């Protein structure tokens, strides 16, 4: 391998641990094959396009690619020739022409002509349950058909790009495990979700919530049984995972005979140039046991207790007598009894033992 090729291999190796270097490496690949553009693209299992990095192509072109459903094999012959292709098998212009009868219309051909990217070659680097990752060089009419020399260069580099992609995917998975482990250390019940809202890692406390039935996973996505809370939770996750930064969402899951479960849904730190496996959202579950000093405020918000009612209810649940509560609050015993009666009604309990069972933790 020539020094220039070794330098290109090193660029892709560096991109695996510093994802901001992918554009530079792809640009160098385009230069080495005398092509206008280098491309790394992800095609999801439902023809979604989680990422599409193309050097030197306008933002309008990338947006139009999504608009025409460019990730679909029924629209794009380049995708069609890769769906069933083996890993690291070369596909080029002759394959694109042969695949034209497989597509439904000329939408992609018109798109490629508009942006002058009709020619080139490609290969599939990775295939897993989430879809495929492909590498390509896109060529203009002026560049001409991909030469044998360009194809040889492209395929010599492709295994090294595959290794870089696999390394970054592993690092992104490790990031989810790292966040889950950090929150495990403080006893939090947390689900770490990727860009598809699927759980990539969870803490032991989160697993416990799954076992006791308060939460569940559907298609590896966190979900709740409560009919009112479930749609709210899904919508909150979608908002958090959207491209636009969104503030933390809190979902309240009511539970008969027990205090509600609070689900805080927030964004994980974001980074450009990732493969969709990086942690994107955290779902943090808070039960009565870990409301801590916010218990009175949460009771006021969820059950519409007054500040006084929340305070006396929590004191009684903690084992204080009515006389002691009255003395510490500088209130009469009658006032405390009236406040407790109101709190009992709002919390849906009728006896002290039920209150203790609900709030004792």
Helix, strand or coil, per DSSP, at residue 106: coil
Q: What is the pLDDT of residue 289?
A: 57
Show Cβ contacts of residue 187 under 8 Å, excluding neighbours closer than 6 positions: 205, 290
Average pLDDT value for residue range 220-226: 87
Burial of 104 (0-12, 13-18, 19+ CB in 10 A): exposed
- Please calculate the CA angle 139-34-16 and round it to the nearest 5 degrees: 90
Q: What is the pLDDT of residue 360?
A: 64
Per-residue pLDDT of 72-97, as tens digits, reads: 999 999 999 998 999 999 999 999 99
Question: Taking the alpha carbons of 137, 142, 148, 152 in that order, is the dihedral positive or negative?
Answer: negative
Per-residue pLDDT of 258-271, as tens digits, reads: 667 888 898 887 77
Per-residue pLDDT of 239-265, as tens digits, reads: 888 867 788 888 888 766 666 788 889
Average pLDDT value for residue range 13-39: 95
Strand stretches in 208-275, DSSP E: 216-218, 221-223, 249-255, 258-267
Cα–Cα distance list, 146 to 13, 17, 94, 120 (Å): 25, 30, 10, 6
Choose among 43, 77, 49, 76: nearest CA to 63.
49
d(C-alpha 130, C-alpha 136), whole Å = 19
Cα–Cα distance list, 202 to 222, 246, 279, 283, 313 (Å): 10, 22, 11, 9, 33
Choose among 267, 259, 301, 298: nearest CA to 284.
267
Q: Which of 128-142, 176-190, 303-317 is predicted with the least confidence, judged by mean pLDDT?
A: 176-190
Better-predicted residue by pLDDT, 211 or 291: 211
H-run or E-run covering 199: strand 199-202
Per-residue pLDDT of 318-353, as tens digits, reads: 888 999 989 988 999 999 999 989 988 888 888 888
Better-predicted residue by pLDDT, 298 or 157: 157
% of the chain exceeding 70 in pLDDT: 93
Cβ-based neighbour number of residue 268 at 10 Å: 18
């Amino acid at each position: 391998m020539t020094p220039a090729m070794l330098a290109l291999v090193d660029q892709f190796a560096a991109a695996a641990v510093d994802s901001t270097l992918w554009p530079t490496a792809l640009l160098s690949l385009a230069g080495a094959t005398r092509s206008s553009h280098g491309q790394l693209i992800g095609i999801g299992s439902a023809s979604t396009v989680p990422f599409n990095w193309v050097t030197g192509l306008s933002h309008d072109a990338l947006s139009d690619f999504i608009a025409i459903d460019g990730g679909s094999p029924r629209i794009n012959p380049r995708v069609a020739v890769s769906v069933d292709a083996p890993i690291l098998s070369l596909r080029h212009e002759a394959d694109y022409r042969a695949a034209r009868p497989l597509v439904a219309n000329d939408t992609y051909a018109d798109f490629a002509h508009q942006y002058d990217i009709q020619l080139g070659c490609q290969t599939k680097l990775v295939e897993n349950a989430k879809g495929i990752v492909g590498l390509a060089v896109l060529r203009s009419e002026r560049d001409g058909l991909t030469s044998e020399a360009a194809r040889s260069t492209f395929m010599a580099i492709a295994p090294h790009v595959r290794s870089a992609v696999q390394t970054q995917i592993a690092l992104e998975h490790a990031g989810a495990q790292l966040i889950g482990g950090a929150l495990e250390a403080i006893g939090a019940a947390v689900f770490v979700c990727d860009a598809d809202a699927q759980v990539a890692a969870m803490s032991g406390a989160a697993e416990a919530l799954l076992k006791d039935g308060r939460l569940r996973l559907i298609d590896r996505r966190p979900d709740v049984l409560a009919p009112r809370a479930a749609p709210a939770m899904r919508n909150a996750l979608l908002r958090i995972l959207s491209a636009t930064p969104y503030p933390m969402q809190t979902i309240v899951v009511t539970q008969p005979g027990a205090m509600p479960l609070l689900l805080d849904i927030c964004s994980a730190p974001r980074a450009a140039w990732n493969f969709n496996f990086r942690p994107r959202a955290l779902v943090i579950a808070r039960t009565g046991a870990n409301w801590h000093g916010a218990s009175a405020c949460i009771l006021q918000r969820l059950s519409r207790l007054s500040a006084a009612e929340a305070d006396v209810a929590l004191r009684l649940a903690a084992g204080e007598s009515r006389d002691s509560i009255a003395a510490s609050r500088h209130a009469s015993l009658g006032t405390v009894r009236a406040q407790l009666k109101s709190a009992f009604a709002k919390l849906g309990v009728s006896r002290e033992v039920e209150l203790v069972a609900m709030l004792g933790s």
